[in-house]
Amino acid sequence: MGKKVMLFLCMAFLIPSFLFAEPRILSYSMTPPNPSFGDAVTVHVEFCAQNYNSGWMALAVSTQPVRVNAALSGVGQVFVISRAGFDVPTSRPATTQGGVIGYQVSTTTTAAPVCNDCNSTNPNGQLYVEDWVVHVPAADNFPGCVVDNLYMHIGFKDNNMNESDWHNLQQPACAGASLTWSMPLLPEEFSIRKRVEGVIQEQNDLVLFSVDYSYSNGRLTITDTIPSAWNGDLELVSFGPTSITGGIVSGPNPGDRSGTFSWTLPDRTGVKGVAEGTVWMLYRLTTTVPVDSPRTYTNTVSGSMDGITKTDDASIVTGQAAIDLEKRQSHTLAYPGDIVTYTLEYNINGSKLIAYQPFDDISGVYTSTPPAGWGFLPQNSTNGTWTVSDVCNTGDRVITGSVSNEAYPAMIYTAQPFCEGTIVADALINPGNTGTAQYEGSDALIIIRNNGQPGNLNMAYALGISIDDNFGSNINGNVGFQKCINGGTCTWPLSVNTIQIVGNKWYRIKIDVKGVTFRAKVWAKGDPEPTGYTITWTDPAPAGMTCDPLNPAGWYAGIGEQGGAMGSTQDSYNNFMLYEPRIAENAVLYDTVPLDINYVGASSPPVKVNPMVEWELNNIMNEGGSFTWWGEVTGCGPITNVGAIDANDPVLPVLSNRVVMSVYCGSPTVTPTVTVTVTSTPTRTSTPTSTMTATRTITNTATPTRTATATSTVTFTRTATPTSTATRTITDTATPTVTFTVSATMTATRTITSTATPTVTFTVSATMTATRTITSTATPTVSFSNTPTATPTFTITVTRTNTPSNTPTPTITQTYWESMTNTPTVTITRTATPTATQTKTVTFTSTMTDTKTVTATRTATPTVTVTHMDTATNTKTVTLTRTPTPTHTQTLTVTPTSTSTATRTNTRTVTPTATQTDTATITITVTDTFTMTATPTITPSPTITMTLPPFPYVLRIGVYNEAGERVRFICSVPTNKLMSDVDFLSNGDATDVISNGADITITLNGVETPYNMGNGYTSFVWDGKNDQAQYVSNGPYYIKLEQLDEYGHSTSLIKDMQSIRYEEGVEGRIYNSAGELVKLLRTQPSAKGQKVALKIQDIIIIEPQSAKIKLYYNEDEYLEWDGTNEAGLAVTNGTYEIQVIMKTAEGRLIEASKSVIILTEKTDYLADPIIAPNPVTHKEGRTLIVWDPLALYNPSAAKGIMEIRIYSLAGEKVKEIRCALQNGAAQWDLKSESGGQVSNGVYVVVLEAIRDDGQLNRKKIKMAVK
């Protein structure tokens, strides 16, 4: 008995080991091996999971080299496959503490095992091979300024996978694996975006202009100016950042009304990752602007990096809410039938800005004295420690609090009382996790209203965000309100968990306050602002906590530091702003539905859907959100779209950015469709019947008698002489013709037509054409023959078929009969007759029609049916044709002949004889017969055949130095196929060296681009220069060719090159006062050129259209300079340094330099332009833009290039015209760049003339189209 019990216990112990075992990873890889943020990767996994339990796994991208606790956020670990979904990034996949995080990848099975898991040495499971496509999460998911390396961790677990299983796998070497890679160096790129916040109308109103920037692998310089419009109405209050570690900042002083700002940011050349930040300028309106005379203030920013310049601007109109509208689309390339989604993100700042604290203009650590404008609210006798720092050296400073555990101090903004309006701030919670800590109960707090009183007198409302689901006494919510009275008695009346808050991630918080009703929304910074509010609460018992909006003194907003239970939490804040309400009434957001899109649905039901989607926002002040709608692509060609937002006056409509989507369509193909129609047809048939009749006939029979007579007789002889005579005969002939008939049947169809732009339209044109036709005419000729002949005779049977075309169908029946002697025979003679015939021709015309109207029409649709009949068709047309016909006729001619002949005569004797004969008689019987006719009908059906893009690959070619820095960008073009055969040639020979005067030609054999179709190859040239048009130095380089397919897969080819240059000659370099190279001059030295002695005047005056300047470096040797820079434009006045370098054949360098003052005499050679007619109507169709009327008669002496750009009042470029300056005028056909007619309205015409000597003139004029 004891043994049995022991055996039972042993089995009980062994069962879990047998049943529960982790899947074994057999293979694990990633393609491409070194992706960047946001890139798609294919993860290949082969694993063995046991038959007896389901298999679960998770996949995470991390900055940590090992798997860390899945319960922690903000530690740089982001799951991309987990319980949250497939390719769904999240820091905490579990919905409850300690809950499930795994993603199921296998189920139980009874199949024969083929492999073994981690706990078995014998086969006990199935082999699974998976390829998962996921994306590397965006950079803002990972804490820190620069991420050099990333890791991809994978882990498997049987039965389920909870939070603690992730970093505590039973057999981590078997069921877990990791990949690592070094982040690639990003291209040299940057972006800038200008925005404006605030509403200005009255004196001392504030307006904030901000510039959001990002840049990589270079050094970015941002420049801006104080708006100068309206005689300097705006004066500077402050700007920031005022200093940047590793950068240079300069700008005007507070109170200035003009001046330039400059931020030169730290050099990130060769540094991985992207730097992001914001620079800002706060202005005050110095005058009150009349409501009926609004003013517009436009602020333009410029960014430059390594010769590349970009600009952006933002405008604000007095009395108008600052409105920002951005539009995005889900596709940039689509096919007919695809569903495309449009998103409109709006931000209406309808409130007056009263305070802005970005912390960029202060620095230091604050413990006993708060920063200027702030006040401490101590808790547990501590103010906490508040540190202002620039963590990433971008100048974007933040303030961070720290305190011991269970302490909750705060700071209130005492510089500006606050009662009602809007609070906006950015917040980040650092829970202090090290990767092993277990604490996630961290919060941050925005103080809505605090009376600033000490001790038990203190009262406050606040909004908190929490990493865990516990906020105060609420166990359900990440965002909630807090109410505190009597100096610290707090309640938490309402919390929600509609957003997941994670550590070390910035969130933007917006709180709208009206009385004791509070609305708030929270979203990840950088994401679109959500529509509506996250949480709303009204205090039912606000005794002692109300305030007067007109006199808010004594109530303040602020920020709090939440020490928490462990004291490790550090809360950071930035961009703290306060607004007073100003309302935009009856605001409406709308978006036009393009003609080639059929509206399908929207995220929120719009009030209108056609011809535009429209949402009513009603009365709003400081609010933002986004709306989404989607539709089906129905047309071809590019589809453009622009959204807009509007409200009651004085708000003016604000347009969004324009989005453009390309649509690939196939070619129309006519497909014949054979339709067999079985028809019961009454047929009238003529049937020949052969009848044998017995006839008694009296026949005169000639009996020959042979008589020999020698007679000389003059005799008239009747001789049958066949003569071939060509007879010209005019014959009236009724000709049955065999005709293939194309019947165009017009069918009235009620069709709702949404006309695509452009549309391929099949037009059936019935055209009467006078055609000279050679007609083969069957002409019956009657001739008499003495010979019995089997003659084919055609019988015409008319078959009437009751088909939709109701077409009489003639049938030709061929029969044979034996004709007796002297029987008339009908002989068909086919004669080629030239006939001038009026022919009705049906023509298919493929017409591209640009139609802009969606119309419900009753349309007569032409249906073309081509019927091929193996029968003759009686078209019911009898044509009497007078035809001159040459006919060869056998004619019997009687010729009397007088002959003296000795004749032996046979004499015939006529004897009457009665003969019994049978005669065949043909009887025609007409019979009505019903015939079942199967009529095949061939119908051409236009079919749209989808065609893949002919150039699905993108080729990029660049030249890099040995440090991996790109020195020259050669191209980025679409190609038709992957490269396989690439040649690197110099002067026709293969090479890996670039030297003097020898360019490198890169030829891709078999690869074509849209610009050289049909060549069979594509070539690109590198001239040995870098992106700054300077020759590269001697040393090693490599040329990298990279092709990307539609799915982001990359194919690369690298060719090593050696730059070896033996330079001999004289080089002149001209630098401006900033040390920038303006012009590079080169020449070959003379035989005596072995020294440099500059003979250049101290002041050089450049006159318009003067001869070139001679820069003497020896007695009679000089360099010539035309006074322009490398871009061909005349240099400006200023101090320049001229440097001359002589390079001898022996390799010696001889240098000399001199500073000079250059004075350029500017001339305004461009007269005020004239537009005639102005205004112009579409009926007139064109207008003339004149800048030199005399040149219309004689060519102008000023030669160069004229560029004319035409803009709408919304700032969109409508048309660009480029012509010779000497023409004096250019014509505009009132069409846009796309070829469509422009709409009615006012347009701005900008003329920019560049003369051959580099002088540039600009003029501007308005015109109207109606």
Pick the CATH number of 189-319 from 2.40.30.10, 2.30.110.10, 2.60.40.740, 3.40.50.1000: 2.60.40.740
- Confidence at residue 1180, expressed as pLDDT on a 0 to 100 scale: 86
Is the model's pTM score more than 0.85?
A: no
Is the per-residue pLDDT at 101 higher than 90? yes
Pick from 579-593, 652-666, 1095-1109 the range whose average pLDDT is largest.
Answer: 579-593
What is the percent of the chain where pLDDT is above 70?
Answer: 71
| Distance in angstroms (rounded) separating the CA atoms of residues 919 and 917 | 6
- Confidence at residue 581, expressed as pLDDT on a 0 to 100 scale: 76
899-904 mean pLDDT? 45
| Distance in angstroms (rounded) separating the CA atoms of residues 659 and 640 | 6
**Cβ proximity of 640 and 659 under 8 Å:** yes
- Confidence at residue 174, expressed as pLDDT on a 0 to 100 scale: 93
Q: How does pLDDT run across 511-565, given as a tens digit for each residue?
A: 999 899 999 999 988 787 887 888 999 999 998 888 888 788 889 999 999 887 7
| Distance in angstroms (rounded) separating the CA atoms of residues 622 and 102 | 42
Q: Round the CA-based radius of gyration of the chain to a whole number and report it.
A: 47
**Cβ proximity of 1154 and 1138 under 8 Å:** yes
Q: How confident is the model at residue 712 (pLDDT cuts 50, 70, 90)?
A: very low
Instruction: Assign domain 1170-1265 to a CATH class.
Output: mainly beta
- Confidence at residue 775, expressed as pLDDT on a 0 to 100 scale: 39
Domain edges within the chain: 21-182, 189-319, 322-348+584-676+919-947, 353-581, 953-1059, 1065-1160, 1170-1265
DSSP 331-395: -SEE-TT-EEEEEEEEEEE-EEEEEEE-STT--EEESSSPPTTEEEE-BTTB--EEEEE-TTSSS
Can you give the length of the chain in residues?
A: 1266
Which one is predicted more confidently, 924 or 167?
A: 167
**Considering the chain, what is the average pLDDT of its residues?**
75
Q: Of 885-894, 1097-1106, 1184-1193, which range is least confident?
A: 885-894
Q: How confident is the model at residue 406 (pLDDT cuts 50, 70, 90)?
A: confident
According to DSSP, residue 186 is labeled: P
Instruction: Assign domain 1065-1160 to a CATH class.
Output: mainly beta
Is the per-residue pLDDT at 219 higher than 90? yes
| Distance in angstroms (rounded) separating the CA atoms of residues 751 and 861 | 10
- Confidence at residue 951, expressed as pLDDT on a 0 to 100 scale: 78
C-alpha angle 1249-1251-1256 in degrees, rounded to nearest 5? 50
Q: How confident is the model at residue 852 (pLDDT cuts 50, 70, 90)?
A: very low
Is the per-residue pLDDT at 142 higher than 50? yes
> 129 to each of 54, 102, 160, how far by Cα in Å?
16, 18, 20
Which one is predicted more confidently, 773 or 85?
A: 85
Is the per-residue pLDDT at 10 higher than 80? no
- Confidence at residue 874, expressed as pLDDT on a 0 to 100 scale: 44
Q: How does pLDDT run across 40-84, given as a tens digit for each residue?
A: 999 999 999 999 889 999 999 999 999 998 888 888 899 999 998
Query: 261: which 2 tokens?
Result: 């700002």
Q: How does pLDDT run across 789-838, given as a tens digit for each residue?
A: 443 433 334 334 343 434 344 443 333 333 333 434 334 344 444 434 34
According to DSSP, residue 19 is labeled: H
Q: Give the containing element (helix H, strand E) for 158.
A: strand 149-158
3-state SS, residue 709: coil
Pick from 378-387, 694-703, 736-745, 754-763 the range whose average pLDDT is largest.
Answer: 378-387
Contacts (Cβ under 8 Å, ≥6 apart) of 637: 596, 663, 665, 756, 757, 758
Sign of torsion, CA 1026 1029 1034 1039? positive
**Cβ proximity of 137 and 77 under 8 Å:** no
> Residue 299 CA to chain centroid, in angstroms?
29
Instruction: Assign domain 353-581 to a CATH class.
Output: mainly beta
180-209 mean pLDDT? 87
Which of 298, 316, 289, 313 has its CA nearest to residue 207?
Answer: 316
- Confidence at residue 920, expressed as pLDDT on a 0 to 100 scale: 53
- Confidence at residue 664, expressed as pLDDT on a 0 to 100 scale: 72
| Distance in angstroms (rounded) separating the CA atoms of residues 729 and 731 | 6
568-585 mean pLDDT? 84
Is the per-residue pLDDT at 976 higher than 60? yes
DSSP 482-549: EEEETTTEEEEEEEE-SS---TT--EEEEEEEETTEEEEEEEETTSPPPSS-SEEEE-S--TT---BT
- Confidence at residue 379, expressed as pLDDT on a 0 to 100 scale: 83
Which one is predicted more confidently, 455 or 364?
A: 364
Tell me the helices (H) and strands (E) count for the chain, helix number first. Answer: 4, 78
Same fold, 189-319 and 1170-1265: yes
Q: Of 346-360, 430-444, 767-781, 1067-1081, which range is least confident?
A: 767-781
- Confidence at residue 880, expressed as pLDDT on a 0 to 100 scale: 41
Is the per-residue pLDDT at 230 higher than 50? yes
- 219, 225, 226, 230 alpha-carbon torsion, rounded to 10°: -150
Q: How does pLDDT run across 156-184, given as a tens digit for each residue?
A: 999 889 988 999 888 888 999 999 999 88
Q: How does pLDDT run across 1064-1086, given as a tens digit for each residue?
A: 778 888 888 777 788 888 776 55
821: number of Cβ within 10 Å: 8
Q: How does pLDDT run across 939-958, given as a tens digit for each residue?
A: 555 544 444 456 788 888 99
- Confidence at residue 993, expressed as pLDDT on a 0 to 100 scale: 87
Which of 481, 526, 496, 535 has its CA nearest to residue 508?
Answer: 526
| Distance in angstroms (rounded) separating the CA atoms of residues 595 and 1013 | 32
1044-1051 mean pLDDT? 73
- Confidence at residue 20, expressed as pLDDT on a 0 to 100 scale: 58
| Distance in angstroms (rounded) separating the CA atoms of residues 40 and 29 | 14
Q: How confident is the model at residue 934 (pLDDT cuts 50, 70, 90)?
A: low
22-27 mean pLDDT? 93
Q: Say if strands 854-867 and 741-754 run parallel, antiparallel, or are unpaired.
A: antiparallel
- Confidence at residue 806, expressed as pLDDT on a 0 to 100 scale: 40
Is the per-residue pLDDT at 897 higher than 60? no
**Cβ proximity of 559 and 411 under 8 Å:** yes
| Distance in angstroms (rounded) separating the CA atoms of residues 123 and 513 | 67
What is the identity of the amino acid at 1050?
Answer: S
Q: Give the containing element (helix H, strand E) for 8.
A: helix 2-19
| Distance in angstroms (rounded) separating the CA atoms of residues 467 and 500 | 7
Give me the CATH topology for the region 322-348+584-676+919-947.
Answer: Immunoglobulin-like (2.60.40)
Sign of torsion, CA 769 772 778 779? positive
Query: 493: which 2 tokens?
Result: 């009346």
25: number of Cβ within 10 Å: 20
Which of 903, 888, 1054 has its CA nearest to residue 984?
Answer: 1054
CATH architecture, range 21-182? Sandwich (2.60)
According to DSSP, residue 633 is labeled: E
Is the per-residue pLDDT at 139 higher than 50? yes
Which one is predicted more confidently, 996 or 901?
A: 996
What is the identity of the amino acid at 1208?
Answer: S
Is the per-residue pLDDT at 650 higher than 70? no
Listed as own residue / partner, the contacts of 1069-1076 with beta carbons closer than 8 Å and 24 or more positions apart are 1069/1138, 1069/1139, 1069/1140, 1069/1141, 1070/1121, 1070/1136, 1070/1137, 1070/1138, 1070/1139, 1071/1136, 1071/1137, 1071/1139, 1072/1131, 1072/1134, 1072/1135, 1072/1136, 1073/1134, 1073/1135, 1073/1136
Contacts (Cβ under 8 Å, ≥6 apart) of 576: 355, 356, 357, 358, 359, 413, 423, 424, 425, 559
Instruction: Assign domain 953-1059 to a CATH class.
Output: mainly beta
Which of 1027, 972, 958, 956 has its CA nearest to residue 307?
Answer: 1027
**Cβ proximity of 421 and 622 under 8 Å:** yes
Which one is predicted more confidently, 348 or 507?
A: 507
Q: Of 699-708, 970-979, 1132-1141, which range is least confident?
A: 699-708
Which of 1091, 1072, 1227, 1088 has its CA nearest to residue 1160?
Answer: 1072
What is the percent of the chain where pLDDT is above 90?
Answer: 25
> Number of C-alpha atoms within 13 angstroms, CB side, residue 1022?
33
C-alpha angle 608-611-615 in degrees, rounded to nearest 5? 30
573-591 mean pLDDT? 85
Is the per-residue pLDDT at 592 higher than 70? yes
Sign of torsion, CA 706 708 709 710? positive
| Distance in angstroms (rounded) separating the CA atoms of residues 304 and 292 | 39
Contacts (Cβ under 8 Å, ≥6 apart) of 1082: 1065, 1066, 1067, 1068
- Confidence at residue 1084, expressed as pLDDT on a 0 to 100 scale: 65
**Cβ proximity of 625 and 346 under 8 Å:** yes
301-306 mean pLDDT? 92
| Distance in angstroms (rounded) separating the CA atoms of residues 564 and 429 | 12
316: number of Cβ within 10 Å: 27
Which one is predicted more confidently, 500 or 444?
A: 444
1141-1158 mean pLDDT? 77
Give exposure, 1195-1226, as e/b (b: 16+ Cβ within 10 Å). Answer: ebebebebebbbebeeeeebbebeeebbebbb
Q: Say if strands 1050-1059 and 993-994 run parallel, antiparallel, or are unpaired.
A: parallel
Is the per-residue pLDDT at 1169 higher than 80? yes
Beta pairing partners, 29 = 44
